[in-house]
A and B are shown apart, each in its own frame.
Chain A
Amino acid sequence: MVKSVCTGCSLLCEDIDLTLKAGGVGEANNLCRKGFGHFSALFNERTIPRVDNQDASLDQAISEAAKILRNAKNPLLYGWSSSSQEAQKVGIDLARKLGAVIDDTTSFCQDVLMDLVLKGKVPTCTLDDVRNFADIMIFWGSDPTNSHPRHLSRFSYYPRGEKRQKGYEVERDSIAVDVRKSSTAKLCKYYFKVAPGDDADFINSVISVLDGKIPRVGDKKKMIELGTVLRKAEFGVIFPGLGLVSALQDQMSLLEALLAKLNSIKPYKVIPTAEHFNARGFNQLLMSETGFINRVSFKDGVSSNPDLGIVGASRSCDAALIIGSDPLSELPFGVARRLAKMPLIAIDPRRSLTTDASRVVIPSAMYGLESGGSAIRTDGVKVSFSSPYPAEKPNDEEILKRIMEAI
């Protein structure tokens, strides 16, 4: 058994013991079903170097990729959330050298929330603080039981911590706010159902309850009970998910207002639940280099605007390098169709719809298993990992460096 770090989601579980056998994962301890699937899938859909739908050598694929990027007038570099910090650093240098647009998977996901957290507009803390001190957790539009299976057991609800020795029944309260009774909501003590898009009204109701007024929407008795629970907390944490971010969109100031109101009573923090294992890492790195978390163009200096996101860039760019992501199956059909029509370069350990539609496919090593590096957990803690089973394939960092040299 060797120690490994799971790169299946942004929790980066460090206590994984596993062995490999021919054609799959042999034994794995402490790996959740999602992580087990993540590692097992590596053995049945592996990519091979391809150019124009024909098998090629790695060198040919890299020189073809360099040619596409060199000839493009306005290239797009997209993905990045499933690459190590080191690879992301090289990626940003590559974008700077090419004068390219660089964007990551959060631009169609939770970037507005990540922006608030990284710029310090809402208070945040680490998941270890949650385990040690938090007594109220609010899962708002998120369902970590499905998206981050070990979230509740490793950090937020069930474990015992420094100030929370007696277990969840006595010392922790959990609240779920969601459009449906999700798997997480079934485990929570309080569940509040909101209609899709009504989160703004719900926030206003919570603020008025905390002000001592009668709420306009929702079950009044239940809302007043919620106000009481929120008031008596010692340390509260909100885990907003894609549900809340999609419902609020341009009204994220409401979330800031709610946090300001809550913090005037008791300390409340926000921790985003990023999807891919190093999504926050890319946002943080790009922010330290350019001041923007994503949607950055290096053409004529550094600029950022909403049209540089994947949706707008799919219209304005003429070639794309997709790394560790599958936009063709994840994004809306219109965006996927526009992307599929341009020359694509895919760097991915596994086969996907995007690699199938790409002109150049470059296989890479999988982080956590075949390649080491470092990544930023969803709460901002840096996690370094080694490669328990080093592969012959180069990792994202080496591939990008070779492309850069070829350009």
Chain B
Amino acid sequence: MVSAMEIYQLLPKTNCKKCGVATCMAFAVGLLRKEKKLEDCPVIFEPKYEAKLKKLREMLAPLESASETGLVIHDEKCFGCGNCVVACPVNVANDPTGCALGHGPTSDKVILKVENGVVNCLNPKECRRFGPNKILCNACTVTCPSKAIEFV
């Protein structure tokens, strides 16, 4: 998955502050967290940055499918094994008689659920990574055998 440094390498690196943050590195981090948009930077749209802008758009395209918490699910890689569903601490807390015991979810408040053979994100707002005071939990990504779940 793309990193802030990779995005920074393609930005103008002028630290002009026109986007509202102090440095281009801060802007790169903002782009990654989806707090900023490319349109906030007027400099990158100048003709001399055309090639870099094209690359940036390609690099940021996968982020479009990410949820508010930055969760990206690659459907084509997923086995539907449900390891993430059972390991997710929020799923376990919200569904102690279903998910926690390895069964399919019985509550509507679960974040992850296997539907049609692949995992699906239902309630991203319940995730520990949601909001400003987020916890960098990675229970779902470390239990995935095929690296079908990633956080940006």
Contacts and interface: CB of A to CB of B under 8 A. Distances in A.
Interface of A: 15-17, 25, 27-37, 131, 145-146, 149-150, 152-155, 157-161, 167-168, 183-184, 186-187
Given A149-B81, A159-B86, A37 B117 contact: yes
Contact of A186 (B87, B118, B145): B145
A189 B114 CA distance: 25
Nearest to B114: A30
Contacts of A187: 83, 143, 145
A15 B103 contact: yes
A27 B146 contact: no
A154 B79 CA distance: 14
Chain B CB within 10 Å, residue with most, of A17, A28, A35, A149: A149
Contacts of A146: 79
Contacts of A152: 81, 83
Contact of A32 (B79, B87, B105): B79
B22 interface: no
27 contacts: A27-B115, A28-B115, A29-B113, A29-B114, A30-B103, A30-B104, A30-B113, A31-B117, A32-B79, A32-B114, A36-B117, A131-B101, A131-B102, A145-B145, A146-B79, A149-B82, A153-B81, A153-B85, A153-B86, A155-B102, A157-B83, A158-B83, A160-B92, A161-B101, A167-B87, A167-B89, A183-B145
A33 B115 contact: no
A154 B102 CA distance: 4
Given A32-B117, A154-B102, A161-B101, 17 more contacts: A29-B104, A29-B114, A30-B105, A30-B113, A32-B81, A32-B82, A36-B80, A36-B117, A131-B102, A149-B81, A150-B102, A153-B81, A153-B87, A158-B143, A167-B89, A187-B83, A187-B143
Contacts of B118: 33
B78 interface: yes
A221 B113 CA distance: 41
